[in-house]
Amino acid sequence: MEEPELRIGGWVQQKKRGKIRRLFSFLLIITVGLIVGGPALVSYHSVDVDDGSLYLNAGVWNGPFENENTKEFNGHLKISKKSYESLDGESGKLIILSLSSLVNLENLNYQNIVVNKVKQQMVNEGLELQSNGNILTEVNSVLPIGTSIYQWTAKTTDDSIYFSSDYDGELFVKVYSWSLCTGPMEEFDCKAIISIAIGVAQKDILQATDLIENVRI
Protein backbone atom coordinates (compact mmCIF):
# COMPACT_ATOMS: atom_id res chain seq x y z
CA MET A 1 0.00 0.00 0.00
CA GLU A 2 2.81 2.39 0.83
CA GLU A 3 4.78 1.85 -2.38
CA PRO A 4 2.06 3.18 -4.73
CA GLU A 5 1.61 6.21 -2.45
CA LEU A 6 5.32 6.97 -2.66
CA ARG A 7 5.20 6.64 -6.41
CA ILE A 8 2.17 8.87 -6.64
CA GLY A 9 3.76 11.38 -4.27
CA GLY A 10 6.97 11.34 -6.26
CA TRP A 11 5.02 11.81 -9.47
CA VAL A 12 3.19 14.79 -7.97
CA GLN A 13 6.47 16.35 -6.84
CA GLN A 14 7.95 15.75 -10.27
CA LYS A 15 4.88 17.31 -11.87
CA LYS A 16 5.23 20.39 -9.67
CA ARG A 17 8.90 20.69 -10.56
CA GLY A 18 7.94 20.42 -14.22
CA LYS A 19 5.51 23.32 -13.86
CA ILE A 20 8.16 25.42 -12.14
CA ARG A 21 10.66 24.65 -14.92
CA ARG A 22 8.12 25.59 -17.58
CA LEU A 23 7.29 28.82 -15.75
CA PHE A 24 10.99 29.66 -15.40
CA SER A 25 11.57 28.88 -19.08
CA PHE A 26 8.61 31.07 -20.04
CA LEU A 27 9.90 33.99 -17.97
CA LEU A 28 13.39 33.49 -19.40
CA ILE A 29 12.01 33.58 -22.95
CA ILE A 30 10.04 36.76 -22.16
CA THR A 31 13.12 38.41 -20.60
CA VAL A 32 15.38 37.51 -23.52
CA GLY A 33 12.69 38.66 -25.93
CA LEU A 34 12.47 42.05 -24.22
CA ILE A 35 16.25 42.43 -24.20
CA VAL A 36 16.57 41.55 -27.88
CA GLY A 37 13.34 42.97 -29.26
CA GLY A 38 12.62 45.63 -26.63
CA PRO A 39 14.21 48.52 -28.56
CA ALA A 40 11.78 47.93 -31.43
CA LEU A 41 8.91 48.50 -28.99
CA VAL A 42 10.27 51.85 -27.79
CA SER A 43 9.48 54.90 -29.93
CA TYR A 44 10.76 58.46 -29.87
CA HIS A 45 8.19 60.87 -28.44
CA SER A 46 8.79 64.42 -29.52
CA VAL A 47 7.59 67.27 -27.31
CA ASP A 48 6.31 70.70 -28.19
CA VAL A 49 5.23 73.84 -26.38
CA ASP A 50 1.62 74.49 -27.34
CA ASP A 51 -0.23 77.72 -28.07
CA GLY A 52 -1.00 78.30 -24.41
CA SER A 53 2.46 79.75 -23.78
CA LEU A 54 2.21 83.51 -23.38
CA TYR A 55 5.90 84.22 -23.95
CA LEU A 56 6.24 81.94 -26.98
CA ASN A 57 3.15 83.41 -28.63
CA ALA A 58 4.35 86.95 -27.92
CA GLY A 59 7.72 86.23 -29.53
CA VAL A 60 9.62 86.83 -26.29
CA TRP A 61 10.94 83.29 -26.71
CA ASN A 62 11.65 81.47 -29.97
CA GLY A 63 11.87 77.85 -31.02
CA PRO A 64 11.94 74.97 -31.21
CA PHE A 65 15.58 74.41 -32.12
CA GLU A 66 17.96 71.43 -31.85
CA ASN A 67 15.47 68.75 -32.82
CA GLU A 68 17.60 65.71 -31.96
CA ASN A 69 16.98 62.01 -31.32
CA THR A 70 19.46 59.80 -29.47
CA LYS A 71 19.32 56.37 -27.87
CA GLU A 72 21.03 54.69 -24.94
CA PHE A 73 21.32 51.16 -23.55
CA ASN A 74 21.16 49.64 -27.04
CA GLY A 75 17.92 51.45 -27.80
CA HIS A 76 16.02 50.55 -24.63
CA LEU A 77 16.03 54.26 -23.73
CA LYS A 78 15.24 56.77 -26.47
CA ILE A 79 15.60 60.51 -26.00
CA SER A 80 14.18 63.39 -28.03
CA LYS A 81 15.55 66.88 -27.48
CA LYS A 82 14.26 70.33 -28.37
CA SER A 83 15.33 73.74 -27.17
CA TYR A 84 13.90 77.24 -26.98
CA GLU A 85 15.73 80.55 -26.58
CA SER A 86 14.91 84.05 -25.37
CA LEU A 87 14.48 86.67 -28.08
CA ASP A 88 17.69 88.54 -27.21
CA GLY A 89 19.70 85.37 -27.83
CA GLU A 90 21.71 85.64 -24.64
CA SER A 91 19.67 85.66 -21.43
CA GLY A 92 17.63 82.46 -21.36
CA LYS A 93 17.54 78.96 -22.79
CA LEU A 94 15.18 76.04 -22.26
CA ILE A 95 16.15 72.45 -23.03
CA ILE A 96 13.38 69.84 -23.09
CA LEU A 97 14.24 66.14 -23.05
CA SER A 98 11.59 63.51 -23.70
CA LEU A 99 12.64 60.03 -22.53
CA SER A 100 10.90 56.88 -23.71
CA SER A 101 11.34 53.45 -22.17
CA LEU A 102 9.54 50.13 -22.09
CA VAL A 103 9.71 50.06 -18.28
CA ASN A 104 9.00 52.59 -15.55
CA LEU A 105 12.07 54.78 -15.05
CA GLU A 106 10.88 55.55 -11.51
CA ASN A 107 11.96 52.00 -10.63
CA LEU A 108 15.49 52.63 -11.94
CA ASN A 109 16.60 55.45 -9.61
CA TYR A 110 14.99 58.12 -11.74
CA GLN A 111 16.46 60.95 -9.67
CA ASN A 112 19.97 59.89 -10.68
CA ILE A 113 18.85 59.75 -14.30
CA VAL A 114 17.59 63.34 -14.07
CA VAL A 115 20.77 64.62 -12.40
CA ASN A 116 22.99 62.85 -14.94
CA LYS A 117 21.00 64.29 -17.84
CA VAL A 118 21.30 67.80 -16.39
CA LYS A 119 25.06 67.41 -15.98
CA GLN A 120 25.33 66.08 -19.52
CA GLN A 121 23.44 69.05 -20.95
CA MET A 122 25.59 71.48 -18.97
CA VAL A 123 28.69 69.95 -20.54
CA ASN A 124 27.07 70.22 -23.97
CA GLU A 125 26.34 73.90 -23.31
CA GLY A 126 29.85 74.61 -22.06
CA LEU A 127 28.58 75.43 -18.58
CA GLU A 128 29.82 74.33 -15.17
CA LEU A 129 27.51 73.59 -12.26
CA GLN A 130 28.57 75.37 -9.07
CA SER A 131 26.77 73.18 -6.55
CA ASN A 132 25.33 69.72 -5.97
CA GLY A 133 21.89 71.18 -6.48
CA ASN A 134 18.78 71.34 -4.33
CA ILE A 135 15.48 69.49 -4.46
CA LEU A 136 12.78 72.13 -4.04
CA THR A 137 9.61 71.57 -2.05
CA GLU A 138 7.56 74.05 -4.05
CA VAL A 139 4.57 72.72 -5.97
CA ASN A 140 3.55 73.88 -9.45
CA SER A 141 -0.19 73.21 -9.67
CA VAL A 142 -0.16 73.50 -13.47
CA LEU A 143 2.28 70.63 -13.96
CA PRO A 144 1.44 66.93 -13.42
CA ILE A 145 1.11 65.66 -9.86
CA GLY A 146 4.44 64.35 -8.62
CA THR A 147 6.57 66.75 -10.66
CA SER A 148 10.05 67.03 -9.14
CA ILE A 149 11.80 70.41 -9.12
CA TYR A 150 15.57 70.87 -8.84
CA GLN A 151 17.76 73.95 -8.73
CA TRP A 152 21.44 74.70 -9.38
CA THR A 153 23.67 77.64 -10.17
CA ALA A 154 26.19 77.52 -13.00
CA LYS A 155 29.06 79.46 -14.55
CA THR A 156 30.07 79.94 -18.15
CA THR A 157 33.36 78.53 -19.45
CA ASP A 158 35.53 79.23 -22.47
CA ASP A 159 33.50 76.55 -24.26
CA SER A 160 30.12 78.19 -23.64
CA ILE A 161 27.87 77.99 -26.68
CA TYR A 162 24.73 80.03 -26.02
CA PHE A 163 25.72 82.14 -23.04
CA SER A 164 28.69 84.45 -23.52
CA SER A 165 31.94 83.13 -22.12
CA ASP A 166 32.64 86.71 -20.99
CA TYR A 167 29.68 86.64 -18.60
CA ASP A 168 31.18 86.29 -15.12
CA GLY A 169 27.96 86.21 -13.10
CA GLU A 170 26.01 83.18 -11.93
CA LEU A 171 23.43 81.49 -14.10
CA PHE A 172 20.24 80.10 -12.60
CA VAL A 173 19.35 76.52 -13.51
CA LYS A 174 15.91 75.16 -12.67
CA VAL A 175 14.69 71.72 -13.69
CA TYR A 176 11.16 70.31 -13.78
CA SER A 177 10.70 66.60 -14.32
CA TRP A 178 7.78 64.19 -14.37
CA SER A 179 7.02 60.74 -15.73
CA LEU A 180 4.02 58.67 -16.76
CA CYS A 181 3.28 55.16 -17.99
CA THR A 182 0.36 54.22 -20.21
CA GLY A 183 0.91 50.46 -20.46
CA PRO A 184 -0.42 47.57 -18.33
CA MET A 185 -0.47 48.26 -14.57
CA GLU A 186 1.02 51.68 -15.41
CA GLU A 187 4.48 50.09 -15.40
CA PHE A 188 5.16 49.77 -19.13
CA ASP A 189 5.31 52.04 -22.19
CA CYS A 190 6.70 54.88 -20.11
CA LYS A 191 7.69 58.44 -20.86
CA ALA A 192 9.47 61.11 -18.85
CA ILE A 193 10.02 64.82 -19.37
CA ILE A 194 13.08 66.70 -18.13
CA SER A 195 12.82 70.45 -18.71
CA ILE A 196 16.00 72.42 -18.01
CA ALA A 197 15.61 76.20 -17.74
CA ILE A 198 18.82 78.28 -17.72
CA GLY A 199 18.75 82.02 -17.22
CA VAL A 200 20.82 85.06 -16.36
CA ALA A 201 18.05 86.34 -14.08
CA GLN A 202 15.05 84.89 -12.26
CA LYS A 203 12.72 86.55 -14.76
CA ASP A 204 14.25 84.37 -17.48
CA ILE A 205 13.50 81.29 -15.38
CA LEU A 206 9.92 82.45 -14.83
CA GLN A 207 9.43 82.97 -18.55
CA ALA A 208 10.90 79.55 -19.32
CA THR A 209 8.56 78.05 -16.71
CA ASP A 210 5.62 79.41 -18.70
CA LEU A 211 6.83 77.36 -21.67
CA ILE A 212 7.36 74.28 -19.48
CA GLU A 213 3.78 74.55 -18.21
CA ASN A 214 2.63 74.21 -21.80
CA VAL A 215 4.76 71.22 -22.81
CA ARG A 216 2.81 68.51 -24.59
CA ILE A 217 4.02 65.08 -25.69
What sign results for the dihedral spanned by CA atoms 58, 60, 66, 68? negative
pTM for this structure? 0.80
- Which of 29-33, 148-152, 204-208 comes out lowest in average pLDDT? 29-33
Considering the domain architecture, whether residues 117 and 65 belong to the same structural domain is answered as yes
Considering the domain architecture, whether residues 103 and 186 belong to the same structural domain is answered as yes
Considering the domain architecture, whether residues 211 and 115 belong to the same structural domain is answered as yes
Cα–Cα distance between 85 and 61 in angstroms, integer? 6
Q: What is the pLDDT of residues 183-205, one digit of tens each?
A: 666 667 788 999 999 999 999 99
Q: What is the pLDDT of residues 121-175, one digit of tens each?
A: 999 999 999 988 899 999 999 999 999 999 999 999 999 999 999 999 999 999 9
Considering the domain architecture, whether residues 115 and 144 belong to the same structural domain is answered as yes
Q: Which amino acid is at 72?
A: E
| Number of folded domains that form the chain | 2
Considering the domain architecture, whether residues 2 and 84 belong to the same structural domain is answered as no
Cα–Cα distance between 181 and 37 in angstroms, integer? 19
Do the Cβ atoms of 204 and 172 come closer than 8 Å?
Answer: yes
Closest CA to 198 of 153, 159, 168, 165: 153
Q: What is the pLDDT of residues 73-128, one digit of tens each?
A: 676 789 999 999 999 999 999 999 999 887 777 777 889 999 999 999 999 999 99
Considering the domain architecture, whether residues 18 and 70 belong to the same structural domain is answered as no
